């Protein structure tokens, strides 16, 4: 899967970052239960992707939810793996 603004989760090194703006209810529940900081896309992923992708993903926000790491999601959850 390619990275775009509709991706629910970005998985990097077995760590999951959830899209704060996800429309998926499961993802929204996980985010609400998290006390982690929210990051603009470029902070966790700026070194892992090209500048064009960073620019395209501007305005998306991500939260790390440790209890979701490597979780097996239903097919309605979109995951991009870096």
What does 57-75 look like in DSSP terms, one character per residue? TTT-EEEE-GGGTT----T
pLDDT score for 10 = 94
**Whole-prediction pTM:** 0.68
Is residue 32 within 8 A of residue 24, CB to CB? The reply is no
pLDDT score for 53 = 95
**pLDDT band for position 43 (cuts 50, 70, 90):** very high
Is residue 19 within 8 A of residue 8, CB to CB? The reply is yes
């Amino acid at each position: 899967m390619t990275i775009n603004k509709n991706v629910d989760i970005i998985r990097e090194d077995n760590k999951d970052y959830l899209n704060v703006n996800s429309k998926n209810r499961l993802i929204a529940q996980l985010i609400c239960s998290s006390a982690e900081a929210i990051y603009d896309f470029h902070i966790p992923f700026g070194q892992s992707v090209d500048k064009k992708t960073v620019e395209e993903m501007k305005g998306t926000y991500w939260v790390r939810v440790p209890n979701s790491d490597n979780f097996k999601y239903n097919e309605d959850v979109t995951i991009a793996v870096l």
